[in-house]
Structure 1
Amino acid sequence: MGNNKSLSGPKFHSRFLPEEQAELDRLFAALSPGTGSTGALSRSFSLQELKSYVGEALPPEMVTRLFDGMRRVDLTGKTRGPSESVSQEQFTATMSYLLKGNAEEKSLVILKMITATEGPVRAGEVQKFTEGLVGAVEHVLVHRQELRGWTRRRFQGPLAGVGGLAAQLLSEMKLQGGQKFPEPQWLDCDCDRAVIEDWVFRAPLVGVFLSVVIHRGFLLLSPSLQPAPLLPERHVGLGGEVESLLDVLSAVYLGAQLRGEQRQRWRLLFSSRLHGQSFAQLCGRITHQGPCLALLQDRDGHVFGGFASCSWEVKPQFQGDSKCFLFSIAPRMAVYTHTGYNDHFMYLNHGQQTMPNGLGMGGQHGYFGLWIDSDFGKGHSKARPACTTYGSPQLSAKEDFLFEAMEVWAVEEPSELQRVKKSVLDVDPEARILLEASGRTRHSEGLSEAPDYCSDDPGS
């Protein structure tokens, strides 16, 4: 990293398969109609032609950045300055670096998209580029009608929506001297090629977002060039439509933390807005449903939650594994993973007198990183200075909080083994309520520890 390699010289070779190159050739021909008369290699396209082709699919600022990145590519090493149009070689080289390249090659193009000058750029310029990139992703998904049931821009404030996800990406950047971005006092710091390359490596979503902007903005048709969907399909079921605590960009961010098969389709298991303020309903709907995301919004507007990598089970023991994590969506986006300190990943208990009743993740009894009390509507996030299990700070605005809404999304279909484990009382939480109201107790609940079907071993 940080060497003097540039986008120049005779050694450039396209990485595209023949059918992929044919698709790029088709796109270039559409971008450069009627220019040149001595063959394809003499043809080129202008900024106006690129804007005309893209139309409203991308914001004009991002189209200009892409054009500048392409026209500043010097494949010969002899050009004294950027050209006023983009040749086919420049176009193919840029697409190869952005769609197939490594962090070093992507970072070289990113620098050319930011500035025409050689050398470092200011951190503030990188911030503006990142916000433009995130905004372009949201824009093109809306334009192409690929929201898959999600809505845009639910959150307000400087660290919400586009600004929030951009800030999260920039938090992965290490400035010279080890300073963390994006503290305002560092906006004038220089970011050289090594810093940008390291950032692209640490924040892979930057490369993914560039790929999505190109694929969906230019509508590349080759099947092998199609990126995986950024957003999971949102499935609410027969309970009716409901506004989610997640918007487009927060769903993109959380999906990026999961395995590929967990990004395909999310099923709403529980919503306090649909199913009521009931802990019994929560337990009945989320147990034995496979991995899921639980999130809530406190009365101060903070949105946060946790990922359960295993099916929830009602029992007085900790459960789960090291793939669990806690997260924050508002007022800032962040994910907090296992520290290795203990194995207090998940806890769900109800109807016992000797053990705490509620849903918890991380920490210990009475001091969870995230706790939802069985007296539904209140909880705590006691993490001073940090949650022992996940290293997370206090997620809620107040240590002991009241919350407005809670929802749980399944990210995988449960296995047949998980399905058959659900008892009648699990399937019908109203039956549990009637049982408890009659003064009768479930003597077996929590006393017999069910087999744990969650394991770090993928073959288990």
Structure 2
Amino acid sequence: MGNADSVVAQKRLARFRPDERPVIEGTFDRLHGTGASGKTGKVLSLDTLKMTMGKMASESMIKRVFQGILSIDPGVPLPPGDGISREQLVIFLADILRGTAEERAPLVLAMADAAVQTLAHRGHLRAWQPDRMGDGPQGVKLLAEQLTSELKSSDQNTCDIPCLEDWLFRIPTMALFLELLIGEGLEVGLPSRPPPTLLPPCQYAPWNDLRCLLNLPLLMFLSPQLPDGHNAPWRLLFSTNIHGESFTRLVANCKSRGPTVILVKDTKGHIFGGFASQSWEVKPQFQGDSRCFLFSVFPYMRGHSRARPRCTTYGSPQLSGDEDFKLETVEVWGVGKLPEEQEQDEKKKSVLDADPEVQAIMEMTGKTMHSQGLREPEEDEEQ
């Protein structure tokens, strides 16, 4: 790269070892097909990127990658033509291969945004109405940042194949994104495997009167953390926007209604909440179990605690804007079966169904489960 090249690109290039830099610098010429001539005024077109990546990604994803690279400011005047410059490509490769979570976030942002758009256009919203929900674009950005923060670099501080495999293994949401995008984008439908579910069903919400804090990216973030996962129906139990600011009304609406997710927004704009694994009850004792957790939605979307001050129960940092804060909105969603429904389901199951470990132990010890073939066939819950 010459003296007139971007200082930004040169700093990014310095992240690589001396023997790696020629590979990074030579990528532009290899893709452009000019060899090592180093001619100036050349750009990479979208068609060139399609030819290179066509076997690995859909056209829509290639367009997103192209636009992402094209949006990079290299710090120098861009050559004529509607395409990617050499400096932009170097900065892009450095951010992907040697970048921080923040620098890698745009690609995950594109992937998450594509997943949200696919859900909206392919009819997988499961009764949710994004136009009556929270800030979707902001939610996509926060979800991308949260997912990227879990990307662990290898010993050489690079994002290689084992690094990505580990990421996909630990973050199942990413695998679901990929499966949805590839399956829907390439129209690959397997009878034995229905399209992946990224959203829980919305069982009830008064959409005509509601403007809720939830958005689709937040649902994608929260639902995998819940015990019932994506299949648990959500229903609105309380919202200050609809039911007013009565604590008595809040308790009455949530009492004995099964597991819940509560969302709180303060006047500073911070949004946070928690999951209660058991029904609300008016008792003098604390309630809950190890499945309960707190989470933050804005300004950061994460579900763990890493800073002070910490609360005594969860070890959580301060989630509100200030230690003393005023509430702007409170929402409570029921996120599981009602207690009576759960009790009925448990009565239908045998001891072996309720405790699969017991069944496994009996099988290993050679015990015959005589009742296994004598049960009545279970009814299909989908009917």
Q: TM-score, normalised by structure 2?
A: 0.61
Matching residue of 2:371: none
1:387 maps to 2:311: yes
Asked if the contact 1:200/1:206 (under 8 Å) is kept, the reply is yes
Aligned partner of residue 262 in structure 2, secondary structure: strand
Give, in angstroms, the shift of residue 59 of structure 1.
5.0
Give, in angstroms, the shift of residue 260 of structure 1.
4.0
1:211 maps to 2:154: no
* Equivalent residues in 2 for 1:360-399, closer than 5 Å: 384-399=308-323
Give, in angstroms, the shift of residue 304 of structure 1.
0.6
Matching residue of 2:107: 129
1:142 maps to 2:144: no
Matching residue of 2:148: 170
Unpaired runs of at least 5, structure 2: 1-49, 68-91, 344-353, 356-383
Asked if the contact 1:130/1:166 (under 8 Å) is kept, the reply is yes
Distance across 2 between alignment mates of 1:252 and 1:156: 12
Q: Given the alignment, which residue of 137, 161, 167 partners 1:199?
A: 167
Note closer, same or farther for the CA distance 1:263–1:388 as it changes in structure 2 (3 Å cut). Answer: farther
Matching residue of 1:29: none
Note closer, same or farther for the CA distance 1:130–1:261 as it changes in structure 2 (3 Å cut). Answer: closer
* Equivalent residues in 2 for 1:446-457, closer than 5 Å: none
Q: TM-score, normalised by structure 1?
A: 0.51
Asked if the contact 2:125/2:199 (under 8 Å) is kept, the reply is yes
Distance across 1 between alignment mates of 2:152 and 2:205: 44
Asked if the contact 2:198/2:220 (under 8 Å) is kept, the reply is yes
More strand by share: 1
More helix by share: 2
Asked if the contact 2:227/2:291 (under 8 Å) is kept, the reply is no
Aligned partner of residue 235 in structure 1, secondary structure: strand
Matching residue of 1:61: 63
1:287 maps to 2:266: no
Distance across 1 between alignment mates of 2:124 and 2:237: 23
Matching residue of 1:336: 304
Asked if the contact 1:384/1:394 (under 8 Å) is kept, the reply is yes
Note closer, same or farther for the CA distance 1:228–1:396 as it changes in structure 2 (3 Å cut). Answer: same
Unpaired runs of at least 5, structure 1: 1-45, 66-113, 179-188, 340-382, 420-457
Distance across 1 between alignment mates of 2:231 and 2:219: 10
1:400 maps to 2:324: yes
Give, in angstroms, the shift of residue 403 of structure 1.
1.1
Matching residue of 1:320: 288
Matching residue of 1:151: 130
Structure 2 residue identity aligned to 1:155: D
Report the count of equivalent residues: 268
Distance across 1 between alignment mates of 2:342 and 2:284: 19
Asked if the contact 2:259/2:279 (under 8 Å) is kept, the reply is yes
Distance across 1 between alignment mates of 2:223 and 2:296: 13
Asked if the contact 1:150/1:234 (under 8 Å) is kept, the reply is no
Asked if the contact 2:173/2:220 (under 8 Å) is kept, the reply is no
Give, in angstroms, the shift of residue 399 of structure 1.
1.0
Give, in angstroms, the shift of residue 252 of structure 1.
1.1
Give, in angstroms, the shift of residue 64 of structure 1.
7.9
RMSD after superposition: 3.7
Query: Can you list the C-alpha shifts for 1:262-297, whole angstroms capped at 9, x where unaligned?
Result: 644201011111111100000001011111101111
Aligned partner of residue 329 in structure 1, secondary structure: strand
Query: Can you list the C-alpha shifts for 1:413-433, whole angstroms capped at 9, x where unaligned?
Result: 2132889xxxxxxxxxxxxxx
Distance across 2 between alignment mates of 1:284 and 1:398: 29
Identity %: 41
Structure 1 residue identity aligned to 2:140: V
Give, in angstroms, the shift of residue 139 of structure 1.
1.6
Asked if the contact 1:270/1:285 (under 8 Å) is kept, the reply is yes
Structure 2 residue identity aligned to 1:229: T
